[in-house]
Amino acid sequence: MKRLSHIGTAAVVCLCTMPIVVQGLNNGVAKFPALGYNTWNAYQCNIDQDLLITTAQLMKSLGLQAAGYEYVNIDDCWAMKNRSATGELVADTTRFSRGMKNLTSQIHDLGFKAGIYGDSGWFTCAGYPGSFDHEEQDAQTLFEDWGFDYLKYDNCAIPFDDIIRQGIVGKHQRMSSALQNLEETVKPIVFSLCQWGWSQVWLWGATLGHSWRTTGDIGPNWPSLASIINFNSFITQATGYYGRNDLDMLQLGNGGLTFEEAKSHFTAWALMKSPLLIGTNLSAITPDIVEILTNREILAINQDSVEPSSISPFRWGINPDWTSNDSFPAQYWSGPSQNGTVFMLLNTLDEPADMFFNLTESPWIRAGREYSVRDLWSHTDNGTAIRNLTVSAMPPHGVVALLLKDAGNEPDGIYPQCAVWSQCTAENGTLVGGN
Ligand code: GAL
């Protein structure tokens, strides 16, 4: 078994053109964002063993497994309200009557990994037993006895100060350590912190786990998506291999989003390198939503094996740069990928809009070069971009995702001398363009 090394937010690599690479909890699992399913958004507490198996089977038959979705995760409400006489967690004896070991075996037999939910306090958010003061025991039950592979760990029912005598980091350290103790004897576990309370989790989450929720629960509507995108636009540097901001589950196909909004949702989550956990009733999912979820060109960037960085805004657009606006987040984004520079344009307006940018506004683009343009939604090569790019008539709340690849020097003699005028200077010292 691979030895666990708690590296934390370390390993800052800067090779001139390389981005800053943040590395999280490297215990051999979750190097890339988790792709999978979570029961909460579609079902809340209405879950049972058959639903989980049906969901796993649907993930296969719908082609989601083949596209890379790997985890089938149970959220809250799977437990009995009381622990056993010896203090163990007990799975609901009616809804999980065949037992959790049986369930994880079936999930594994279908080729998936299995996730479970717990809480760092006295109770889960729906009032089931939390793991505070039972961390070692629960880790053993969930991962050694029952065979789960992944833990989502929530933030409800925090003990009084004179009991916990820990800050928010120490509270999560307890389970992180318990999981660490299982590394050698059982297996490495994916640890997903659901620390949505104000705690600056993006500063310390990577020292303890593989992902961390940064915002409250997502809703199936544009205002919810816009506010999550806005918040996370300011903390993109926290994401790297083995550790990343978690923007919450995918709300595609739950009603409340237009098709264009659903594409924007998936694009933003994937390119910001969030875990992608489907939160939709798969029995009722429509082909257009499956098509979004299986966009292999966008999934490939989410799972990039060479470049873990999130995209980040290079221009806010309708708002001045660095404006925090829950309704109108940043519109112009880019980031590095192993195959070129990826761009995301978001039309945050409620009406169609044209969007325009100079390529060198993105730090990942070389001046004086031309770029081939791949559209990651139409799956077409759209010619060559020189200096700038305009996208006309983007639908309200619509998205464009492009991959630009260096295609050599631009033609000679292009005017102006610098696409972006700032500090544009002739060799003799003449400042060109006036700024
Ligand atoms: C919330 C969490 C949700 C879901 C719910 C279950 O705190 O953010 O994603 O897990 O608890 O009660």
Smallest CA separation from ligand 1 atom 9, residue: 217
Shared domain for 188 and 226, answered yes or no, is yes
1 band by pLDDT with thresholds 50, 70 and 90: very low
What is the arithmetic mean of pLDDT over 48-52? 98
Ligand 1 center from residue 154 Cα (angstroms): 7
* Region class of 410: left (phi > 0), else alpha (psi between -120 and 50), else beta: beta
Inter-residue contact 245 to 235 (CB < 8 Å): yes
Shared domain for 329 and 298, answered yes or no, is no
**418 inside domain:** no
Say if strands 388-394 and 211-213 run parallel, antiparallel, or are unpaired: unpaired
In whole angstroms, give the CA distance from residue 362 to residue 312: 9
Domain ranges, residue 62: 35-302
Nearest-atom index, ligand 1, CA of 213: 8
Q: So what's the pLDDT on residue 198?
A: 83
**355 inside domain:** yes
Which secondary structure element, helix H or strand E, spans residue 105, and what is its range? helix 100-109
Shared domain for 233 and 335, answered yes or no, is no
Smallest CA separation from ligand 1 atom 4, residue: 40
Shared domain for 242 and 348, answered yes or no, is no
Q: What is the pLDDT of residues 170-223, one digit of tens each?
A: 999 999 999 999 998 999 999 999 999 889 999 999 999 999 999 999 999 999
Q: Ligand 1: which of 152, 217, 249 to mutate, judged by most atoms within 8 Å of the beta carbon?
A: 217
Q: Coil, strand, or helix at residue 278?
A: strand
Q: What is the pLDDT of residues 227-242, one digit of tens each?
A: 999 999 999 999 999 9
Alpha helices in 110-233 (DSSP H): 135-139, 161-164, 168-182, 201-208, 222-232
Comparing C-alpha atoms, which of 57, 60, 55 is closest to residue 39?
55
Ligand 1 center from residue 125 Cα (angstroms): 6
Q: So what's the pLDDT on residue 9?
A: 35
Task: Tell me how many domains the chain contains.
Answer: 2
Q: Which of 275, 302, 329 is the last residue of a domain?
A: 302
User: The tokens 């296969």 sit on which residue?
Assistant: 60
Shared domain for 159 and 97, answered yes or no, is yes
Ligand 1 center from residue 271 Cα (angstroms): 24
pTM: 0.94
Q: What is the pLDDT of residues 78-100, one digit of tens each?
A: 999 999 999 999 999 999 999 99
**115 inside domain:** yes
Q: And the tokens for 101?
A: 């070991």
CA 394 vs CA 62, 293, 317, 352: distances in Å? 30, 21, 14, 5
List pocket residues of ligand 1, CB cut-off 6 Å.
40, 75-76, 117, 124-126, 154, 156, 194, 196, 217
Q: And the tokens for 70?
A: 């790997």
Q: Tell me, yes or no, if 217 is annotated catalytic.
A: yes
**27 inside domain:** no
Inter-residue contact 249 to 41 (CB < 8 Å): yes
Smallest CA separation from ligand 1 atom 3, residue: 217
Q: Output the domain CATH number for residue 329.
A: 2.60.40.1180
Shared domain for 99 and 145, answered yes or no, is yes
3 band by pLDDT with thresholds 50, 70 and 90: very low
Shared domain for 15 and 52, answered yes or no, is no
Q: Which residues of 75-113 are buried (b: 16+ CB within 10 A; e: fewer)?
A: bbbbbbeebeeeeebebbeebbeeebeebbebbeebebb
In whole angstroms, give the CA distance from residue 194 to residue 211: 8
In whole angstroms, give the CA distance from residue 230 to residue 4: 35
Q: Output the domain CATH number for residue 198.
A: 3.20.20.70
Q: What is the pLDDT of residues 350-404, one digit of tens each?
A: 999 999 999 999 999 999 999 999 999 999 999 999 999 999 999 999 999 999 9
Shared domain for 316 and 285, answered yes or no, is no
In whole angstroms, give the CA distance from residue 416 to residue 63: 49
Q: Which of 133, 145, 217, 375 is catalytic?
A: 217
> Is the pLDDT at 422 greater than 90, yes or no?
no
25 band by pLDDT with thresholds 50, 70 and 90: confident
Q: What is the pLDDT of residues 252-271, one digit of tens each?
A: 998 999 999 999 999 999 99
Shared domain for 281 and 141, answered yes or no, is yes
Q: Which of 119, 154, 246, 304 is catalytic?
A: 154
Shared domain for 237 and 357, answered yes or no, is no
Q: So what's the pLDDT on residue 197?
A: 82
- Residue 282: HSE in the Cβ half-sphere, 13 Å Cα cutoff: 26
Q: So what's the pLDDT on residue 12?
A: 35
Shared domain for 337 and 216, answered yes or no, is no
Smallest CA separation from ligand 1 atom 2, residue: 217
Q: Tell me, yes or no, if 375 is annotated catalytic.
A: no
Nearest-atom index, ligand 1, CA of 152: 10
